[in-house]
Amino acid sequence: MIRPRGEPSERFEEPSVPSARPRVLFVSDLAPVLAAVKASPDAKIMNVSGSPSPQNNIPWLVIRLPGGSTYLQIVGLPTGRVG
């Protein structure tokens, strides 16, 4: 096994900025949540499309909450229904 040289503190430095804190929220209907997020001027939708993205027929949306580095991943119904 090859090991890097130097002390562990020299190889890996802790970031000076706290890392993001993701939170997952499951909802039965994503449409009212999306409307509330779009109505909030401080919350930012992080999906590139600006709307829920389907993955394996499950819609999800990532938003950044105001005032920090907290992100919500909001997951909808497995049927792919957005509204």
Q: Output the pLDDT for position 51.
A: 84
Q: Which residue is listed with tokens 């229904």?
A: 81
Residues 6+ apart with CB under 8 A from 76: 27, 28, 29, 30, 52, 58, 59, 60, 61, 82
Q: Is the pTM of this model over 0.75?
A: no
Q: Output the pLDDT for position 2.
A: 54
Give 13-38 pLDDT, tens digit per residue: 544 556 777 888 888 888 888 899 88
**Domain 20-75 bears CATH identifier 2.60.40:** no
- How far is 52 from 50, CA to CA, in rounded Å? 7
